[in-house]
Amino acid sequence: MPRLKILISGGGIAGLTAALALAKFNHRIEVYERAETIEPLGAGIQISPNAFHVLKSLELDEEIIKLSGVPNAIIMMNAIKGTKLTSLPLGFDIQDKYHAPYLVIHRADLHTVLLEKCKLHPDININFSSELIDAAMHRNGVTVLIKSTDVISEHLGDILIGSDGVHSNVRSRVLELDAPKYTGKVAWRGLIAQEHIRSAELMTNTKGWLSPKAHAVTYPIRNGAFLNVVIVTQDNKEKNKKVISNQTLKEQFSHWSEEFTSLLDHEPDWTGWPLYETASPRKMVEGKIALIGDAAHTMLPFAAQGAAQAIEDAHVLAKCLDEDNNLEDALKTFEKIRLPRVRKVIKAARNNGRIYHLSAPFSNMRNLAFKMIPAQRLLQKQDWIYRWRP
């Protein structure tokens, strides 16, 4: 593939990973980010082996490992009784099986590593306060309209990549695809300082807490300085990010075990993130425009694969462009490779959400299955995700 000028809308994890992957093949990259500065939102994310292999190929592995934790296991809990249902080994077991670790990291730390690497690359230029508001394809490539403060300017590139998240302008305004749907679930996120945590088990493992119509996930981040806590509730009306007090959450979850509810004493405000989903994405490409990450396939976080699939997208896109001199054919190949996989991951995440939120008597059957089925067999269900290699 000849040297291309590639325009990327969105400077999140998907966009920056794509910039680095494409720059490896000597393409010139312009990233347009609507924010004034990149201030990563959210809290912790999980980097499974499939995503780690891509980050390693970009020579980011050593920096990321330094900033990450390695959980010993995923422990599934009965949130109400506070009893253990099963423990799925991670740590050395995952490393030995997939030749890559399973990591937990603060989203800001991963984002910073990507951003600093991009800033050092001579072929990557990041434009802040620059929002893509429209684009048009033609035989010479793609022309985009970029709004920066009160000025609108035109920029020409060979292709456009939409990595601008759930509320993507490239997806909705340019390709006119349906927006992801609100799922009726909200994720409440908070960070609790390590000194408030009494349980060593909490600070060395990922824990999933299951209850009817709600569940939670906890794991340590920033070298054990904080416990990342995500509580998922069902709320059919709330679609806007909001803040809720720890007292309100504690009242809502007063029937959960004391081990969990005691955590709610130490985070004054919890930020709510409405969860969206692209039920079954039908396209990721049109002509010389491609979508990656949440812009292409917003998924529920219940397989811990949102960021991982965006990272996979970036690698596959760069590889397809390198292997085919016809731009549109290369993008179609990318779509053909990625669509079946992301659809399957979306379905898996949705099914996990149903299982996590079961009510009695089905929750009793689920709990019994967790206790009876060997841990390695349960973990094997994730093998098709983790064994993916760049």
pLDDT of residue 40: 60
Output the six-digit token pair for 250.
């504690």
Average pLDDT over residues 130-143: 95
Average pLDDT over residues 42-71: 95
Average pLDDT over residues 317-340: 96
Mean pLDDT (the chain, rounded): 93
pLDDT of residue 15: 98
Residue 113 near residue 64, CB atoms below 8 Å: yes
pLDDT of residue 265: 84
Torsion of CA 82, 273, 346, 103, to 10 degrees: -60
Helix%, strand%, coil% for the chain, nearest 5: 40, 30, 30
Residue 339 near residue 284, CB atoms below 8 Å: yes
State pLDDT tens for residues 302-327.
999 999 999 999 999 999 999 998 99
pLDDT of residue 1: 67
pLDDT of residue 38: 72
CA angle, 378 as apex, 377 and 380 as ends, to 5°?
65
DSSP-assigned letters across all residues of 226-285: EEEEEEEEE-SS--S-EEEEHHHHHHHTTTS-HHHHGGGGS-SEEEEEEEEE-SS---SE
Convert 208-220 to b/e letters by CB count within 10 Å (16 or more is b): bbbbbebbbbbbb
Domain boundaries, the chain: 5-180+278-386
Is 0.85 topped by the overall pTM? yes
Would you say residue 260 has pLDDT above 80? yes
pLDDT of residue 349: 97
pLDDT of residue 239: 61
pLDDT of residue 152: 96
Query: Does CATH place domain 5-180+278-386 in 3.50.50.60?
Result: yes
Confidence grade of residue 41 (pLDDT, cut at 50, 70, 90): low
Average pLDDT over residues 364-372: 95
Would you say residue 267 has pLDDT above 90? no
Output the six-digit token pair for 340.
């079946």
pLDDT of residue 241: 62
Q: Please name the residues in contact with 372: beta carbons below 8 A apart, sequence gap of 6 or more.
A: none
Confidence grade of residue 279 (pLDDT, cut at 50, 70, 90): confident
Average pLDDT over residues 20-29: 97
Average pLDDT over residues 150-164: 96
DSSP-assigned letters across all residues of 293-329: THHHH---GGGS-HHHHHHHHHHHHHHHHHH-SSHHH
State pLDDT tens for residues 220-252.
999 889 999 999 998 777 666 677 888 888 899
